[in-house]
Structure 1
Amino acid sequence: MRALCWEGVNELAVEEVPDPQLQNKQDMIIKVKLSATCGSDLHLVDGYIPAMRAGDVIGHEFLGEVVETGPEVRKHRVGDRVVVCSVIACGRCWFCEQGLFSCCDNGNTNPGIPEMMWGQSPAGIFGYSHAMGGFKGSHAEYVRVPYADRGAFTVPDGVDDATALFASDAAPTGYMGADLGEVKAGDVVAVWGAGGVGQMAAQSAMLKGAARVIVIDRFDYRLDMAAHHLGVETLNYEETDIDGELRERSDGRGPDVCIEAVGMEAHTPNPVAYRWEQLKQQTRVLELDRPHALRQAIMVCRKGGMVYVLGVFAGWIDKFPMGALMNKGLTMRSAQQHGERYIPMLLERMSRGEFKTAHLMTHPMPLSEGARGYDLFKHKKDGCVRAVFYPDGDGRVTRG
């Protein structure tokens, strides 16, 4: 089969790779219908995630059709249309029983790498390096899905492909930020990042009753999309004093909840500071992650507020404002997404028209154009919010 492979830093290519095979009784094989780019993929492309090998298939947000099941798969049959959680969890360990699916003890088949890096191993993730299990990714014609009854979900008949696709990762990740960020009615919520996850976090905050939701970014086309489709307020941080404006919009206190949806390659409007942090990150010694958005979220959050980190970080950061976190009495939480907890509810909301996602798919294209899709996505060309790949010759992308 054909798949989009990582061949080195900033090198992607569509190649012939072996077809996936059932390896365990709970496995399932999916014929991919749609597979989306994600901002966290750019950390792989840019070489900041360790344990990548030439020829690794990338991609983790996908929807497809069941073509083969293992003997212990009970919930799915050949022909079912399913969306698959990007996080691979067993559903039976202590962490899964607590609903902490991305902390699963059994989903990562290479636990030694993250244990060395982080002290303990999280769950596996499709197409996200050998540190996260070395699983083949979704930018391919077929994918093997481990623990299929736990991680795959049948799509309701009334939900189109373009909507259901983002129930795989962007929607549950964003919803988790609002849920575990404890957004409640009347809150002022600020979200850093107007990409797919940031927009989903903003929409989720609104569904939870936030009085004001303010999305922060530097690309007007992404801010305009969030305002148009979700009805949120927006701020361009290159044109606005973010601290002052957020205080103005929150009765002088600062936001109740700050959600960071940018991650380890955050931009800063100060060109000297930005270049300096880039250089430190590229040494892989002085600093591994650029945390500008996270630092700003901590500094502007109101006293006693909540900071939730959705953006992906891999290592250590410099100039972390621990003094502000402690003295302001902030709570900070984070996780890879616990998608198995949220996907059924989100699909139900999608079927009722209560959760919008299809607008994120700005650039559908055949899998053979995968490298071009990532170029558009990475460099923010042509208004690209998400490039989405479908098997060549199958341009049937259904939208509501």
Structure 2
Amino acid sequence: MNKLSVERVPEPELRNEQDIIVRLIAGTTCGSDLHLIGGHIPAMRAGDVIGHEFVGEVVETGPQVRRHKVGDRVVVCSFVGCGRCWYCAHDLWSLCDNTNTNPGIGQGLFGHESAGIFGYSHAMGGLRGSHAEYVRGAQMHGQRYVPMLLDRLTAGELRTSHLATHTVSLDEAPKAYDMFKHKTDGCVRAVIRPGA
């Protein structure tokens, strides 16, 4: 609890036919990560990789991946959806039946299972988060509004520079979280980039 460090971990590998591997371009600090670091969310373990809001580039795909190819730039949402269950078919991605590998924990805590969430405790599937160089995208499907938001960003209709006030390297992530938590140096949100 309250301990954050940067360590070497094995690079992810494809496990399922619908997996992709994404090279991180940028991820951000998030207020809900502070709940993990502070010990307010159960089922965190030493060595877990946090981070669940990121953009990246697809570097490998499983044989059943149809919507993405190597080289695609992707915006990845925190919830992981299979794209096939009733919930995903009805755009209720956060309730996906198939992506949380530990559904009993959520059932006990919240009265219902949630989908898997990148970097958000073993109660939400124990999936490695995005504060790493590479992330295994376990059956990721973009949420409904991401394409429209990207179009509006490209057209200059949305401005986000005021939201990301500090950019740091992956090695400086603990410092970024400290700045974010304590709002030092005017930090609204820090962007974490490998090799920044």
TM-score by length of 2: 0.96
- One-letter amino acid of the structure 2 residue matched with residue 361 of structure 1: A
Counterpart of 2:102 in structure 1 is 110
1:152-231 to 2 correspondence within 5 Å? none
Return the match for 1:85 from 77, 92, 105: 77
Aligned to 1:278: none
2:164 aligned to which of 361, 365, 373: 361
Match of 2:13 in 1: 21
Residue of 371, 374, 385 corresponding to 2:174: 371
CA distance in 2, matches of 1:74, 1:347: 20
What's the CA shift string for 1:200-236, capped at 9, x where partnerless? Answer: xxxxxxxxxxxxxxxxxxxxxxxxxxxxxxxxxxxxx
CA RMSD of aligned residues (A): 1.1
Matched, 1:45 2:37: yes
Deviations 1:227-256 (A, max 9, x none): xxxxxxxxxxxxxxxxxxxxxxxxxxxxxx
- Cα distance, 1:146 vs structure 2: 1.3
* Bigger radius of gyration: 1
User: 1:106 and 1:119 mapped to 2: Cα distance?
Assistant: 17
Instruction: Give distance in 2, aligned partners of 1:358 and 1:132.
Output: 31
Letter in 2 for 1:25: E
Q: Report the secondary structure of 1:32's partner residue.
A: strand
Within a 5 Å distance, the mapping from 1:245-260 to structure 2 comes to none
Aligned to 2:88: 96
**Corresponding residue number in structure 1 for 2:51:** 59
Q: Deviations over 1:336-392 (max 9, x none)?
A: xxxx12212211222222222232111101111111010000011000011111112
Structure possessing the higher relative contact order (Cα contacts under 8 Å, 6 or more residues apart):
2
Q: 2:107 and 2:157 mapped to 1: Cα distance? A: 40
Aligned to 1:221: none
Please give the secondary structure, in 2, of the residue aligned with 1:20: coil
How many percent identity over aligned positions?
A: 63
Give the whole-Å Cα distance in 1 for the aligned partners of 2:179 and 2:45: 23
Provide structure 2 residue ranges, at least 5 long, that are not aligned to the other structure.
none
Distance 1:117 1:348 in 2: 38
> Which residue is 1:288 aligned to?
none
Question: Which residue of structure 1 aligns with residue 3 of structure 2?
Answer: 11
**Aligned counterpart for 1:380 among listed residues 164, 176, 183:** 183
Q: How many residues align?
A: 196
Q: Which of the two has greater helix per residue?
A: 1
Q: Quote the Cα distance in structure 1 between the aligned partners of 2:89 and 2:70.
A: 28
Residues 305-364 of structure 1, C-alpha deviations (whole Å, 9 max, x = no match): xxxxxxxxxxxxxxxxxxxxxxxxxxxxxxxxxxx1221221122222222223211110
Residues 272-297 of structure 1 show CA distances to partners (whole Å, capped at 9, x for unaligned) of xxxxxxxxxxxxxxxxxxxxxxxxxx
Aligned to 2:112: 120
> Deviation at 1:75?
1.8
Structure 1 residue runs of 5 or longer lacking an equivalent are 1-8, 152-339, 396-400
State how far apart, in whole Å, the 2-side matches of 1:81 and 1:31 are: 9
Matches within 5 A, 1:269-348: 340-348=143-151
- Secondary structure of the 1:44 match is helix
